[in-house]
């Protein structure tokens, strides 16, 4: 129980040291009204609605900020408290407009609720109500303060939750309280807008209707809606959402606070990312290609066509002439069903989900022989760490809530952030992060340089980290080209900076190393993993987390979406087990991965394929190649929710319901499996993935009898050894963590091989891809709210290059590589280093994968003004 007890209204209540009176009372189910207090923010005691009487205190105290102490006697309903509370409410309401009938907050307004419960039913105000007039000619006092956010200052009760969320929790600076006294106004800084990635939270946590967003305004009354518990699918953070629906339409998404994950704050991508469900781009019914044109068909026609064609091909060819690709945003159930369908029904092992990588992810000899692997890291580890290393990741846009968790460490534990990247990222802004900005492709030199600086330092305590003199001298001999003066010169990072970082890493007691999306794209992935492991070894305690790319990448790996791997990561020795489970023969482990599949199609070894919820033409790094190769197939079945580039090549398209229309489970980057409800019924003529896969299997002669996700889940759980909750209803907020095998790395440093990047005279610039503001990956462009933040697709150029090429913002430029070219408007980005071209991967109009050659190790490009 608690550390000590306090008495609230005569009831003994346990309290923990450091808890406030409010927290102890709320935990015991005693209601104390609050406006300004929020569990994730430092209490300010501004609204005064939580005043309580505490014995031995001469005045009433705010429960939100008064620390509970042993034996404290608190009264929350004494006459003095009731009088003060009514007084405060009267003050708040004095100038609050009575526009509840047209206010979007009506029905879920804290002020309404508290007034209903504790307030008076009259006002003594005789004076006219104050009004903050935005436009003399308008009766409304709404002011658009950001692309999505609208402010009505009249309704504001000055709780400062919004400004504190922006400042304290998000480390942003685009909202503040201006003026003084009752003139205090919530505004962005002059000539700016509130447009940070977390801006939607200020609307969600506004206790009144002062801040609203375009997304939800004037559309539906909140009490008419139903709520569905959902999990966000836009990144692997796994934030919990509530989808608010009415008449089978989603009207908004809000956070569903989960202490283990998001702690109540979500990013705008998750908040507005539901809009694509109702996108006009949705595939409404099955389509069949006739005479080179896709025409609408019925499910019956489409399924029959697949049946005849697949049967015909199967009679001629072996299972190895088929392949399947699945997108990593699918649910665990869909992934499981899909690989089962391919293995058992089609009889092929050519399955992959890693469609956007041109380098094979099979690890090299050094990595495997030394048993190097990432650690199992969780959000709780972030809360314990005092130093974070963020390597090759734009964490802010790739994993926004992980970034927020890190920032919390900076705010409350003085944790340090060290960013190692070849382009500057937003995480470094205002967080006091050390930014090691290196030349493209020289991350290895930075990492090895830091290790060298640490082991060369006279104060380095090698015994504390279990290193011997011999291991250190071996390290130095093995990396003569990457030691300090050379590492600094090669990477362009100052030697003193490397030494300072080494020093702070050695002194840290708990380090978490993150590497992100850019890491898996780098050509030296193996070597970088080895170098990161070396970095881990100079720290007293360090964990290495490799952040996956998509919301269910971990689930894809876990559930057999890779060519030669059964669910649960089981190898070929589990074949008979799965043959029993799936009641039929399975193919041998001779599956090809994404690159192998494309090669095989090119060489006419593979002739038919199933692509489920994936768009390889759009994301495979050599879009032209993927396009040309997939075109050669005799039969391509695409199951997707949207008309994608790949779907255009299909012979049959089956419309897939989106994440909001199907229940299921997803695995976030920690390996935490969470259940998500379906918010609405399948729209149009689409069907959920599990149902489609069951229909296909049934048509092709093998019925599993598992058309519903819950049925698939039962078998999935069985295949993993029944370690997950038995039924969906038994999932709790902490979800379920599937324990993956732990690796025991060998002692000593790894040998990191390094080859310098060849310079390319003809194509002098280096292409980097990433996310545009408010976008993540290729799946967010169908959300109108998110597009408001971004503007048009652009080609990011550094100031130096722009000057050299005499290009200014908005100029039309052509970006060429040996394999392709794209044309777009230039945008000069101040933070970009010279010779680097940045392309957002979020827009189909400007696809960076057209510039990437499958054979090219580096993406060299050339920019010309048009």
Task: By CB under 8 A, name the binding residues for other proteins.
Answer: 43-49, 51, 59-60, 62, 65-67, 83-84, 87-88, 90-92, 94-95, 124-127, 130, 157-158, 160, 177, 179-184
What minimum distance in Å lies between the beta carbon of 157 and other proteins? 7
Query: How would you class 80 by CB atoms within 10 Å of its CB: exposed for 0-12, middle for 13-18, buried for 19 or more?
Result: middle
Nearer to other proteins, 90 or 799 (CB): 90
Q: Which is nearer to other proteins, 410 or 574 (CB)?
A: 410
In this structure, how many other beta carbons lie within 10 angstroms of the beta carbon of residue 598? 24
Residue among 45 and 745 whose Cβ is closer to other proteins = 45
Separation between Cα atoms, residue 262 and residue 268, nearest integer Å: 13
In angstroms, rounded to a whole number, what is the distance separating the alpha carbons of residues 252 and 255? 10
CB 153, min distance to other proteins, A: 13
> Cβ of residue 816: shortest distance to other proteins, in angstroms?
49
Least Å distance between CB 158 and other proteins?
6
Cβ-based neighbour number of residue 257 at 10 Å: 17
* 3-class SS of residue 314: helix
Kindly state the smallest distance separating residue 183's Cβ from other proteins, in Å.
7
Phi, psi of 636 (to 5 degrees): -125, 120
State the nearest-atom distance from the C-beta of 435 to other proteins, in Å: 24
Q: How far apart, in whole angstroms, are the C-alpha atoms of residue 39 and residue 790?
A: 31
How is residue 47 annotated by DSSP?
S
- C-beta of 182: minimal distance to other proteins in Å? 5
Q: What are φ and ψ of residue 390, in 5° steps?
A: -115, 110
Distance between CA 625 and CA 160 in Å, rounded?
54
Report which DSSP code applies to 282: B
β-strand partners of 653: 287, 638
Task: Sheet containing 226-231: give its strands across.
Answer: 226-231, 240-246, 249-255
How many CA atoms, within 13 angstroms, populate the side-chain half-sphere of residue 70?
4
* Alpha-carbon separation of residue 161 from 34, 42, 92, 167, 197 (angstroms): 11, 10, 15, 10, 17
Q: Which helix (H) or strand (E) holds 515?
A: strand 511-515
Nearer of residues 125 and 489 to other proteins, judged by Cβ = 125
Per DSSP (E only), the strands in 346-432 are 351-352, 387-391, 416-421
The gap from C-alpha 817 to its chain's centroid, in whole angstroms, comes to: 30
Q: Partners of 675 in the beta sheet?
A: 665
How many Å apart are CA 765 and CA 52, to the nearest integer? 65
Identify which of residues 153 and 790 has a Cβ nearer to other proteins in the complex: 153
For other proteins, the closer CB: 90 or 481: 90
Smaller CB separation from other proteins, 180 or 761: 180
* Minimum separation from the CB atom of position 177 to other proteins (A): 7
| Residue 179, number of CB atoms within 10 A of its CB | 9
Minimum CB separation of residue 192 from other proteins in Å reads: 18
Smaller CB distance to other proteins: residue 37 or 379? 37
> What is the distance of C-alpha 305 from the center of its chain?
38
Question: Is the CB of 87 or the CB of 585 nearer to other proteins?
Answer: 87
- State both tokens at 179: 């003026």
Which of 84, 197 has the CB closer to other proteins?
84
Kindly tell me which of 177 and 737 has the beta carbon lying closer to other proteins: 177
Strands 794-798 and 821-829: parallel
Instruction: Tell me how far apart the alpha carbons of residues 754 and 744 are, in angstroms, rounded to a whole number.
Output: 25
10 token code pair: 């005569």
Is residue 521 a contact partner of residue 549, using CB atoms and an 8 Å limit? no
CA distance linking residue 331 with residue 228, whole number of Å: 17
Shortest gap between Cβ of 259 and other proteins (angstroms)? 25
User: Nearer Cβ to other proteins, position 64 or 630?
Assistant: 64
| Cβ at position 167, least distance to other proteins in Å | 10
Q: Write down the least CB distance from residue 660 to other proteins, Å.
A: 40
Q: Which is nearer to other proteins, 46 or 401 (CB)?
A: 46
State the DSSP H helix or E strand holding residue 836, giving kind and residue range, or none if neither. strand 836-840
CB half-sphere exposure, 88, CA atoms < 13 A: 25
C-beta of 179 vs 280, nearer to other proteins: 179
- For residue 127, the minimal CB distance to other proteins (Å) is 5
Provide the minimum distance between the beta carbon of 21 and other proteins in the complex, in angstroms, as a whole number: 12
Quote the least distance from Cβ 47 to other proteins, whole Å.
Answer: 6
Q: 211 or 638: whose CB is closer to other proteins?
A: 211
DSSP 542-556: EEEEE--SSTTHHHH
């Amino acid at each position: 129980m608690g550390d000590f007890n306090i008495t609230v209204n005569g009831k003994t209540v346990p309290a923990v040291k450091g808890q406030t009176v409010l927290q102890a009372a709320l935990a015991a189910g005693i209601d104390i009204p609050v406006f300004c207090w929020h569990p994730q923010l430092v209490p300010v005691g501004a609204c005064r609605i939580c005043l309580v009487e505490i014995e031995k205190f001469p005045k009433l105290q705010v429960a939100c900020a008064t620390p509970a102490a042993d034996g404290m006697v608190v009264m929350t309903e004494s006459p003095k408290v009731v009088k003060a509370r009514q007084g405060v409410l009267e003050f708040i309401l004095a100038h609050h407009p009575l526009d509840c009938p047209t206010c979007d907050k009506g029905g879920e307004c804290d002020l309404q609720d508290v007034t209903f419960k504790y307030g008076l039913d009259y006002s003594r105000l005789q004076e006219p109500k104050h009004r903050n007039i935005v436009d003399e000619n308008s009766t409304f006092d709404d002011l658009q303060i950001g692309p999505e956010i609208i402010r009505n200052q009249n309704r504001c009760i000055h709780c400062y939750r919004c400004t504190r969320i922006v400042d304290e929790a998000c480390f942003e600076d685009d909202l503040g309280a201006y003026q003084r006294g009752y003139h205090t106004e919530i505004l962005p800084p002059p000539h700016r807008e509130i447009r940070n990635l977390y801006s939607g939270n200020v609307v969600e946590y506004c206790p009144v209707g002062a801040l609203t967003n375009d997304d939800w305004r004037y559309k539906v009354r909140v009490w008419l809606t139903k709520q569905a518990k959902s999990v966000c699918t836009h990144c692997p953070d796994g934030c919990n959402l509530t989808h608010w629906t009415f008449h089978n339409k989603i009207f908004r998404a809000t956070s569903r606070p989960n202490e283990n994950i998001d702690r109540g704050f979500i990013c705008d991508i998750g908040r507005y990312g539901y809009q694509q469900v109702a996108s006009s781009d949705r595939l409404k019914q099955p389509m069949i290609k006739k005479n080179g044109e896709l025409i609408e068909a019925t499910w019956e026609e489409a399924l029959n066509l697949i049946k005849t064609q697949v049967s015909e091909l199967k009679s001629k060819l072996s299972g190895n002439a088929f392949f399947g690709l699945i997108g990593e945003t699918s649910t665990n159930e869909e992934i499981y069903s899909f690989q089962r369908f391919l293995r058992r029904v089609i009889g092929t092992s050519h399955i992959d989900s890693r469609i956007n990588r041109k380098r094979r992810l099979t690890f090299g000899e050094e990595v495997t022989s030394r048993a190097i692997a990432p650690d199992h890291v969780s959000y709780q580890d972030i809360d314990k760490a005092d130093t974070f290393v963020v390597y090759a990741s734009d964490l802010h846009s790739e994993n926004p809530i992980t970034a927020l968790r890190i920032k919390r460490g900076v705010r409350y534990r003085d944790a340090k952030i060290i960013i190692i990247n070849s382009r500057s990222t937003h995480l470094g802004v205002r967080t006091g992060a050390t930014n090691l900005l290196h030349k493209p492709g020289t991350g290895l030199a930075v990492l090895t340089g830091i290790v060298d600086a640490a082991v060369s330092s006279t104060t380095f305590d090698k015994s504390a980290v279990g290193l011997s003199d011999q291991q250190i001298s071996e390290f130095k001999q093995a990396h003569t080209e990457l030691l300090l003066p050379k590492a600094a010169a090669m990477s362009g990072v100052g030697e003193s900076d490397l030494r300072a970082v080494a020093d702070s890493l050695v002194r840290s007691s708990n380090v978490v190393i993150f590497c992100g999306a850019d890491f898996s794209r780098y050509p030296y992935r193996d070597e970088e993993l080895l170098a990161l492991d070396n970095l881990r070894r100079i720290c007293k305690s360090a964990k290495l987390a490799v952040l996956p790319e998509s919301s269910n990448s971990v689930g894809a790996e876990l559930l057999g979406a890779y060519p030669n791997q059964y669910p649960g990561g089981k190898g070929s020795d589990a074949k008979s087990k799965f043959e029993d489970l799936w009641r039929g023969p399975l193919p041998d482990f001779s599956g090809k991965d994404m690159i192998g599949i494309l090669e095989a199609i090119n060489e006419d070894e593979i002739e038919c394929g199933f692509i489920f919820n994936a768009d390889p033409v759009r994301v495979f790094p050599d879009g032209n190649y993927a396009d040309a190769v997939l075109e050669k197939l005799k039969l391509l079945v695409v199951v997707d929710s949207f008309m994608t580039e790949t779907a255009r090549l299909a012979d049959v398209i089956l419309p897939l319901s989106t994440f909001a229309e199907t229940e299921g489970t997803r695995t976030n980057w920690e390996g935490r499996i969470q259940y998500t409800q379906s918010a609405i019924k399948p729209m149009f003529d689409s069907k959920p993935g599990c149902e489609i896969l069951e229909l296909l299997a049934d048509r092709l002669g093998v019925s599993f009898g598992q058309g519903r996700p819950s049925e698939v889940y039962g078998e999935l759980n069985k295949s993993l050894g029944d370690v997950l909750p038995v039924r969906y209803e038994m999932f709790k907020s902490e979800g379920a963590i599937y324990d993956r095998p732990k690796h025991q790395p060998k002692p000593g440093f790894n040998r990191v091989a390094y080859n310098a990047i060849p310079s390319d005279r003809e194509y002098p610039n280096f292409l980097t891809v990433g996310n545009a503001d408010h976008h993540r990956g290729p799946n967010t462009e169908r959300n109108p709210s998110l597009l408001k933040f971004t503007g048009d697709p652009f080609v990011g150029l550094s100031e130096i290059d722009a000057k050299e090429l005499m290009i200014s913002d908005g100029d039309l430029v052509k970006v060429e590589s040996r394999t392709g070219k794209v044309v777009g408007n230039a945008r000069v980005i101040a933070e970009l280093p010279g010779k680097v071209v940045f392309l957002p991967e979020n827009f189909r109009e400007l696809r960076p994968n057209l510039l990437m050659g499958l054979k090219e190790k580096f993406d060299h490009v050339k920019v010309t003004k048009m």
